[in-house]
Amino acid sequence: MSQVENWTFRNLRSWTASFLEKKGADSPLLETEILLAHAAHTTRVDLFMRLDETPDDATRAAFRELVRRRGMGEPVAYLIGKKEFYALDFDVDSNVLVPRPETEQLALEAIEYIKKRAKTFGKSAKEIGNGSEESEPADAAASNAPETWNICDVGVGSGCISVALAKHVPNARIVAIDLSASALDVAKKNAEKHGVGQKIEFVQSDLFAAFRRDLPEEARFDMIVSNPPYVSEAEYAALEPTVKNFEPELALVGGPTGSELPIRLVEQAAEQIKSGGRLFLELSPTTVHAVAERLAADGRWQDVAVKKDFGNLERFVFATRK
Task: Kindly list the domain boundaries of the chain, sorted by start residue.
Answer: 9-72, 101-321
Specify the amino acid at residue 212. R
Give the pLDDT of residue 147: 85
Give the pLDDT of residue 165: 97
Give the pLDDT of residue 6: 82
> For the segment 187-209, what is each residue's pLDDT rounded down to a tens digit?
999 999 999 999 999 999 999 99
**Angle between helix 160-168 and helix 181-193 axes, rounded to 10 deg:** 30
**CA Rg value for the chain:** 22
Give the pLDDT of residue 125: 41
Give the pLDDT of residue 133: 40
Contact between 275 and 301 (Cβ < 8 Å):
no
Give the pLDDT of residue 38: 97
Report the DSSP beta bridge partners of residue 301.
Answer: 321
All residue ranges of the chain with pLDDT < 70 are 1-5, 120-144
DSSP label of 179: S
For residue 282, which of 77, 108, 88 has the smallest C-alpha distance?
108
Fold (topology level) of 101-321: Rossmann fold (3.40.50)
Give the pLDDT of residue 118: 80
pTM over the 0.95 mark: no
- 160 φ, ψ (degrees, to nearest 5): -65, -40
Give the pLDDT of residue 144: 64
* Per-residue CA distances from 285 to 97, 135, 137, 160, 307 (Å): 19, 22, 25, 22, 10
Rama region for 275: left / alpha / beta (φ>0; ψ in -120 to 50; rest): beta
Cβ neighbours around 231 below 10 Å, total:
23
Specify the amino acid at residue 273. I
Residues 235, 250: Cα–Cα separation, whole Å: 14
The DSSP element (H or E) to which 118 belongs, if any, is helix 101-120
Q: How open is the CA angle 160-307-209, to the nearest 5 degrees? A: 50
Give the pLDDT of residue 141: 40
Give the pLDDT of residue 146: 79
> For the segment 129-153, what is each residue's pLDDT rounded down to a tens digit?
544 444 344 444 444 677 899 999 9
